[in-house]
């Protein structure tokens, strides 16, 4: 998934397939050399804040000019901002000259042309890329053994985290010689503002924002050197939690096409949604944020929209990404193929897994009716749901029911005759993939030694037809899948012995 892009270059480098540095985005000729040579996170983040404020001023000016029709701004470059709900810093207004230069006007009426808008976009993209490169290079050095465990701390990762979360202003940490107004929001507001106005950024800048955000969250969870980075990840997760309404709320709203379109800019709605989904799943890897999102006060606005709308999105990429987020929400597992916490040590990783599974299980127990009855059955498994939604929901349902932590949820589910009817219908679906996934759930109903009378009656009344159907179900699979063959035979024999 997209959150793994934060380590994509690193993995290639370790295998000897990559270069000494990740792919870099060139800045404008004016600043490219200085930005590329800078290794001070505070200076880079301070300059980034100035560039971002200039982007917002340009977007605000372009929007005002368009609505009043009193001035015509030059056409922005491809994928550049067109409008924004954000406003310039207090006491500062702006306009845009015909050549695209941003002109800042302060309270005294003085004005002076600053760097062109195109240069600002280039500098912003280059600074983000430089921050990302420094983070990756530090991690690459740690993974390659350049630093001995216990002899060092990740100074770059720590510096980037502190620069993005400090209450200082850009002017206090960065002196680039620019003549922009220094009346800017504190740096701890920069990342939430960039996430909120992600559509205004160029494509490569958006990817870098997501990569940096994901890196700071997961660098202390994955990898053999995770212990050295754990403090950064934990501290950054606390920062995100402290601004969760602002950050997590925006990441969820990005899945709504109307909200993303209304944000303006030239970004693709799909790529923005996927980047936000990636950042959301990285956030959910921390128990503090995970528990907050699944709490009674937040699940209505942050969790249920995924089951109500996002997994049914007509765009395949968006719906698939939403389904992956739902899987993380309901299982507490970062990946279906690998356990999280590789670098924590076996005991710590197991403890982390149990905590996450406990949060998921508690949520499903509390909200069983809202989640399973009202949404999973009636919406995600209904005949009106698209193929991918039904298939991935069945796979998720099977994982939930077979997890020991969800014993109570499993018993509630397989004790319902309505749920059994739903699965029986899916067992006869035209798609062989869906019938196979439906069988994985159906077998749990049959294996239950304490079936309620209404469930027994349905199985007994239909056992002849069911046995005949199951005997031919995926018969070609039996020769290559011993587990499936044995499980199917057990289900058939159990049905044949069933009595009322």
Report the Cα–Cα distance between both ends of the chain, in Å, rounded: 49
Q: What is the DSSP string of 14-28?
A: HTT-S-SS-------
- 404: its two tokens: 């020991």
Residue 449 burial (10 A CB sphere; 0-12, 13-18, 19+) = exposed
Helix (H) or strand (E) run with residue 93 in it: strand 93-96
Interacting residues of 380 by C-beta distance below 8 A, sequence separation 6+: 307, 311, 389, 390, 393
- 29: its two tokens: 């000729």
At 357 the pLDDT is: 96
At 80 the pLDDT is: 43
Place of tokens 């899916």: 426
- 304: its two tokens: 């249920």
| Global confidence as pTM | 0.81
At 86 the pLDDT is: 41
At 404 the pLDDT is: 94
At 261 the pLDDT is: 55
CB-CB neighbours of 436 under 10 Å: 19
At 13 the pLDDT is: 36
Residue 165 burial (10 A CB sphere; 0-12, 13-18, 19+) = buried
Mean pLDDT, consecutive 10-residue stretches, the chain (500 aa), reads 43 37 45 87 94 90 60 42 41 44 42 68 96 93 62 88 90 54 78 95 97 96 86 97 97 81 64 97 97 98 97 95 97 61 62 94 98 96 96 97 96 98 97 97 97 97 96 94 96 94
Measured between alpha carbons, how far is residue 49 from residues 6, 178, 189, 201, 267 in Å? 22, 12, 10, 13, 20
- 397: its two tokens: 């349902």
């Amino acid at each position: 998934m997209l959150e793994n892009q934060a380590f994509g270059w690193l993995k290639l480098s370790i295998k000897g397939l990559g270069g000494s540095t990740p792919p870099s985005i060139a800045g404008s000729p004016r600043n490219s050399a200085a930005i590329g040579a800078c290794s001070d996170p505070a200076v880079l983040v301070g300059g980034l804040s100035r560039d971002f404020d200039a982007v917002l001023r340009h977007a605000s000016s372009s929007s005002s000019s368009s609505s009043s029709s009193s001035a015509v701004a030059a056409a922005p470059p491809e994928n550049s901002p067109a409008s924004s709900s954000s406003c310039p810093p207090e006491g500062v207004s702006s306009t845009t000259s015909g050549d695209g230069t941003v002109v800042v006007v302060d309270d005294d009426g003085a004005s002076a042309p600053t760097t062109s808008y195109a240069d600002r976009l280039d500098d912003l993209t280059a600074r983000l890329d430089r921050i990302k490169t420094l983070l990756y290079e530090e991690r690459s050095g740690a993974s390659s053994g350049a630093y001995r465990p216990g002899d060092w701390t990740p100074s770059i990762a720590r510096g980037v985290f502190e620069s993005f979360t400090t209450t200082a202003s850009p002017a206090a940490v960065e002196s680039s010689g620019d003549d922009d107004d220094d009346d800017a929001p504190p740096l701890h507001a920069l990342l939430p503002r960039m996430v909120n106005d992600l559509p205004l950024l160029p494509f490569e800048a958006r990817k870098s924002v997501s990569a940096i955000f994901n890196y700071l969250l997961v660098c202390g969870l994955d990898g053999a050197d995770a212990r050295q980075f754990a403090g950064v990840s934990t501290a950054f997760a606390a920062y995100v939690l402290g601004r969760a309404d602002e950050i997590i709320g925006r990441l969820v709203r990005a899945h709504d096409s109307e909200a993303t379109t209304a944000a303006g800019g030239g970004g693709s709605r799909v790529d923005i949604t996927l980047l936000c989904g990636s950042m959301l799943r990285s956030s959910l890897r921390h128990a503090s944020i995970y528990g907050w999102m699944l709490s009674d006060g937040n699940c209505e606005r942050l969790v249920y929209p995924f089951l109500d709308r996002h997994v049914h999105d007509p765009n395949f990429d968006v719906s698939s990404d939403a389904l992956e987020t739902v899987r993380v929400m309901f299982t507490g597992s970062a990946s279906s193929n690998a356990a999280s916490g590789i670098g924590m040590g076996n005991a710590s990783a197991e403890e982390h897994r149990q905590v996450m599974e406990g949060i998921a299980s508690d949520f499903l127990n509390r909200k069983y009716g809202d989640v399973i009855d009202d949404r999973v059955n009636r919406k995600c498994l209904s005949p009106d749901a698209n193929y991918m939604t039904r298939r991935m929901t069945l796979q998720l349902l099977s994982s939930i029911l077979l997890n020991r932590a969800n014993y109570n949820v499993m018993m509630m589910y397989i004790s319902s005759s309505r749920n059994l009817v739903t699965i029986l219908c899916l067992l006869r679906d035209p798609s062989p993939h869906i019938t196979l996934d439906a069988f994985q759930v159906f077998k749990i109903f049959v294996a239950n030694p304490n079936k309620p009378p209404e469930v027994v009656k349905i199985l007994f009344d239909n056992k002849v037809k069911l046995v005949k159907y199951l005997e031919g179900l995926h018969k070609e699979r039996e020769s290559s899948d011993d587990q499936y063959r044995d499980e199917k035979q057990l289900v058939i024999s159990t049905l044949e012995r069933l009595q009322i």
